[in-house]
Amino acid sequence: MSDLSNILPNGSHPDEAAIKRYLDGNATEEERFAIENQMSDEAFLNDAVEGLQEFKDKDLMQEYVAQLNNDLQKQTDKKKARKLKRALQDQDWTIIAIVVVLLLCSLGYAIIQLLLK
């Protein structure tokens, strides 16, 4: 998902710029027809356009988008940090287990050598 401006499942949906042009009234007849046709077919797109129409102040909308992106970034960073920390903790127990097994093997070898003498 390299194109972060298009979050819809496949490429047949309008992108963010086309939806903005539609809302501003600057879309071509073909774009308006395509967007309205897709809005009638898909509830998600219809809800998105209706929600965007509620915003009168475009700067406020951009502020909300930036805030949502920051919150999402914080949540994903926390999850990544937690996952990394958990992986390191698991690795510590693995190293301890390997050292204990090696020590037991060495101790067993030393005892066998002492008993054979």
Could you read off the pLDDT of 42-71 as tens digits, one per residue? 888 888 888 888 887 878 888 888 899 999
Q: Confidence class of residue 81 from pLDDT cuts 50, 70 and 90? A: confident
Query: Which DSSP helix (H) or strand (E) runs through 40?
Result: helix 29-41
Longest CA–CA span in the chain (Å) reads: 98
Q: Taking the domains of the chain in order of start, what are their residue ranges? A: 11-54
Q: Confidence class of residue 1 from pLDDT cuts 50, 70 and 90? A: very low
Look up tokens 């042009």; give the residue: 21
Question: What's the DSSP call for residue 10?
Answer: S
29-50 pLDDT tens trace: 998 898 889 888 888 888 888 8
Q: Contact 35/18 with Cβ under 8 angstroms?
A: yes
84-106 pLDDT tens trace: 877 766 677 788 899 999 999 99
Q: How far apart are CA 4 and CA 105, in angstroms?
A: 55
